[in-house]
Structures are given as structure tokens and as C-alpha cells.
Amino acid sequence: MEGPDNLLKAYPNQILNIHPALLPKFGGKGMYGSHVHKAVLEAKEEESGITIHFVNENYDEGEVIHQSKFKIEPEDTVEMLQFKVQQLEHNYFPKVIESILKKM
């Protein structure tokens, strides 16, 4: 059975991740889903968004390919941030994949 390291070596700069925040902030082990959105709100950030990046051997430290952001409103909740992030993901992930494939 192949482990993650073997996959990373077999497919360098070919595995993508969408992180639900603007890296390098709010990245790393345990920072996913609602955990990220809660941390963003607790830090009283003015904006959040998505980061599409290549996967490497370190959590959320691969080369950034694309970032999109939105303004956080005072009434925003974790659920509202999650919805806004999903809208950006649905819009930009296919475009980023298409752009990468055209370069291959």
C-alpha cells in the first residue's frame, strides 16, 4: 500500500487542495471546516476566503495557486462564512483546474 509520501513523490505539483481561509493564516493540522471559520471569527479578521494550493509534505504550505476573498460582515456566523467559502470554491476550483490542465 502506498502512503502519502509516495503519492507526493509520484505526482509533484499535481495534487491540489482548497483551504477554507487565506493562507498562511489559519492553516496547519486541525485547521479545516468549521474549525477554521471559528478561528477566523475569534481573531476578528476583516476578510476571509479560499486558498487553492499544491499539496506538499507540510500541512497547507504548498505553493499557492489562487486566492479569492470576501469581506466579513459583523453579523456573519461560522455557517455564513462556510457558505461564502463554498460559493468561492464552486466558482474558482474548476477554473483553476482548467488553467493548470491547459499548461500541461
Residue 35 falls in the annotated catalytic set: no
More confident residue, 91 or 14: 91
4-97: CATH topology: Rossmann fold (3.40.50)
Per residue in 46-85, pLDDT (tens digit) is 999 999 999 999 999 999 999 999 999 999 999 999 999 9
Domain ranges of the chain: 4-97
More confident residue, 57 or 104: 57
List strands edge to edge, sheet with 47-54: 16-19, 47-54, 64-71
Q: Distance between CA atoms of 8 and 97, rounded to whole angstroms? A: 18
Contact 29, 57 (CB under 8 A): no
Q: What is the pTM of this model?
A: 0.91
| pLDDT for the residue 1 | 42
Residue 3 has pLDDT above 90, yes or no: no
Average pLDDT, the chain: 94
More confident residue, 62 or 103: 62
